[in-house]
Amino acid sequence: MKPVIFGLSGPVLTADEAAFFADAEPVGHILFGRNIVDRAQLRSLTDSLRALAGHDDLAILIDQEGGPVARMKPPEWPAFPAGPVFDRLYDIAPISAIQASRANGQALGLMLAEVGVTVNCAPLLDVARPGTTAAITSRAFGRDPMRVAALGRAMLDGLAATGIVGVVKHMPGHGRTPVDSHHALPTVTADEAALAIDIEPFRTLNQAPMGMTSHIVYEAWDADRPATLSPIVIEQVIRGTIGFDGLLMTDDIDMKALSGTAADKAAGAIAAGCDVVLDCWARMDEMAAIADRLEEIAPVSRARLDRAMAGRAAAQGDFAELVARRDALLALV
C-alpha cells in the first residue's frame, strides 16, 4: 500500500485507473464535483473503489464542509451552512450553537454515508483574524480559539455518530495570512507566543482521527520550508506541542503554494513526517510518478490509518429531524 490518496478523472472508474490503482494500492481516494452526478451514480462509484481495494473500510474522502466548500450540491443534495453561521449563533447562545453544529455534522454524515463516502475533510479549525484570506473567513468558526474548538468538536462528534471520519485542518493554522495557499505560498511572521492562539483548537482536539497540514511558512518555527515539507513543524509542533497522533495527510500537493514536480513534493512531504500525500487531480503521469517514487506506507502510518478507520460506528439518526433541529437553532440568530 502506497501512502497516497488519489483523485479520479470522472464519474466512473476508467479501465486505466482501475489497473493503475490495483497495482499502486493507494491508501484511498478523494472525490470532487467532476466525479459526482447523483446518488445512484456516486454510490456505484464508491462501491467500485471498495471492490477494487478488496475491503469495506477504504478511505474515500470528500470536502463537504458546507457553504462555499461542497462537492455534493443542489438540487440532488441540500445546501449546508458554513462555519460563520454557527459563529454568529454562538455570540448569543453558545450551547445552542454547539448543538446546531453537532446536528449539522450528523446530518452531513448521513448524507455522505448513504453514498459510500467514509471520510469528510472537515472541520476547519483555523482561527480567523482581521485580514485573513476570504478562502478561510468564509468557512471558519470564528476568531476565538475556544469557540472554534467547541464548534469543531461538535461537528466531529456529529460526523462520528454516522460512521464518518473527520479531518481537522489546516494544521498548525491558516488564519494568520491574507494569502490563499491555493494560489501562492503564504509566510507567517508572527512569533511563537502569538502562534499559540492558532494551534489552540488543534491542541484541544488532538485526539481527532485525521488531520491535514497547511502549505504555509511559519518563520518562528521554520523560515525555509512550508509546514507540509518541514520536519520541524511536523515533529516539534504538530506531533509535539499540539500532541496530534492521528493520521496526518498533506493538503493537495498541486496547490500553487508548493513548487517542484508532483513526485518531489510527495516524497518531500513523506520525508518530513506526513503519513499520507493528497494528490487530487487524477493526472495519470503524475500519479504514476508519485507511486514509483514512494515506498510502502510506514508501519506507524498504517497503524494510524487502521485506527482511524476501525473506529467507525454504524450510522445513526434521522436526516430530516437533524436538519429541522439545526435550522430551528440557527433561526435564533
| CB contact set of 331 (below 8 Å; sequence gap of 6+) | none
The answer, as to whether pTM is greater than 0.75, is: yes
The answer to whether position 32 is within a domain reads no
Q: How many domains does the chain have?
A: 1
The answer to whether position 141 is within a domain reads yes
Name the active-site residue from 126, 222, 251, 275: 251
CA–CA distance, 103 with 116 (Å, rounded to integer): 20
The answer to whether position 193 is within a domain reads yes
Name the active-site residue from 57, 157, 180, 182: 182
Query: pLDDT tens across 24-76, in order?
Result: 999 999 999 999 999 999 999 999 999 999 999 999 999 999 999 999 999 99
Query: pLDDT tens across 131-145, in order?
Result: 899 999 999 999 999
170 tagged catalytic: no
The answer to whether position 9 is within a domain reads no
The answer to whether position 102 is within a domain reads yes
Q: What average pLDDT is seen over the chain?
A: 96
If pLDDT is split at 50, 70 and 90, which confidence band does 182 have? confident
* Contact (Cβ atoms closer than 8 angstroms) between residue 184 and residue 256: yes
If pLDDT is split at 50, 70 and 90, which confidence band does 212 have? very high
The answer to whether position 79 is within a domain reads yes
If pLDDT is split at 50, 70 and 90, which confidence band does 242 have? very high
The answer to whether residue 173 scores a pLDDT higher than 90 is: yes
* Contact (Cβ atoms closer than 8 angstroms) between residue 128 and residue 175: yes
183 tagged catalytic: no
The answer to whether position 29 is within a domain reads no
Q: What is the CATH number of the domain that holds 325?
A: 3.20.20.300
Position 231 scores a pLDDT of 98
Domain boundaries, position 213: 64-263+300-330
The answer to whether position 25 is within a domain reads no
